[in-house]
Amino acid sequence: MRQGCASAQGEESVASTGGETVYLSLRARILSGQLSANTMLREQALAAELGVSRTPVREALRRLDEAGLVTFVPNRGATVVAWSVEEVRETYMVRAGLESRAAGLAASRITAEELDRLAALIDAMEPVLTADDDAGLAALSSLNAEFHHIVVAASRSPQLMTLTSSVARVPLMAAAFRRRGAEYRARSNHQHRDILTALRTGDAIWAEVAMRGHILGARNAVSGTEG
């Protein structure tokens, strides 16, 4: 009996691990725009493509539904959510409030190691600011996401970390990077440097204002309202 329980727990652990891998893979593809709005994600087809059973695929789709990235229907699959301009702008307004507050708190709590990592990420973005291929834009989006994650984590606020992670990241940033071109990307990375400088000097007000302006600029670029 104990052996049976241990076996069941082992299978559950494997399924959970597989679900995490599938979730991260699908999430990255949605956020990069590789899986566009209204794309159908069918459990059986995804399981075959990814070489897993339907259980971890179903788990991943449920989590993506909770994150607001897909609409999940049990035993059928899911559809990638289509965002309206108003929904995009509202989401970025929420992010601006949360992440600017996180940056303000991080100014007095961030570690030297985290500051060094932020600097490394900014430098790593430089070579791909002029990219026009999918791989380069995906790399830029990934580096950008890590930058923001570190700043929020450095706030040392569990509430802000939870709230920020619950706000769906609009899957249009890669498209904005492509549409707005190298000039926009360079300006965005320059804003990263402003945020880093504010954090290095421990200036909470500067850090908060710099982060808010940065995210509101991204809001306008993503929603197509930037001049």
- The span from the CA of 46 to the CA of 150, in Å, is 31
Q: Is the model's pLDDT at 11 over the cut of 60?
A: no
Q: Is the model's pLDDT at 168 over the cut of 60?
A: no
Q: Is the model's pLDDT at 106 over the cut of 60?
A: yes
> What is the enclosing helix (H) or strand (E) of 79?
strand 77-80
> Over the chain, what is the mean pLDDT?
84
**151 within 8 A of 192, measured Cβ to Cβ:** no
Q: What is the pLDDT of residue 227?
A: 46
Query: Can you list the domains of the chain with their CATH numbers?
Result: 2-80 (1.10.10.10), 85-223 (1.20.120.530)
Q: What is the DSSP string of 33-72?
A: TSS-TT-EEEHHHHHHHHTS-HHHHHHHHHHHHHTTSEEE
Count other Cβ atoms within 10 Å, centred on residue 185: 23
* Strand partners of residue 79: 40, 71
pTM listed for this prediction:
0.72
Task: Give buried/exposed letters for 116-155 (b at 16+ CB in 10 A, else e).
Answer: ebbeebbeebeebbebeeeebbbbbbbbbeebbebbbbbb
Q: What is the pLDDT of residue 68?
A: 79
Residue 170's pLDDT band, with cuts at 50, 70 and 90, is low
Q: What is the pLDDT of residue 85?
A: 75
* Strand partners of residue 71: 79
Q: What's the mean pLDDT in 124-134? A: 87
Q: What is the pLDDT of residue 6?
A: 41
Q: What's the mean pLDDT in 86-100? A: 89
Q: What is the pLDDT of residue 116?
A: 98
Return phi, psi of residue 159, to 5°: -65, -45
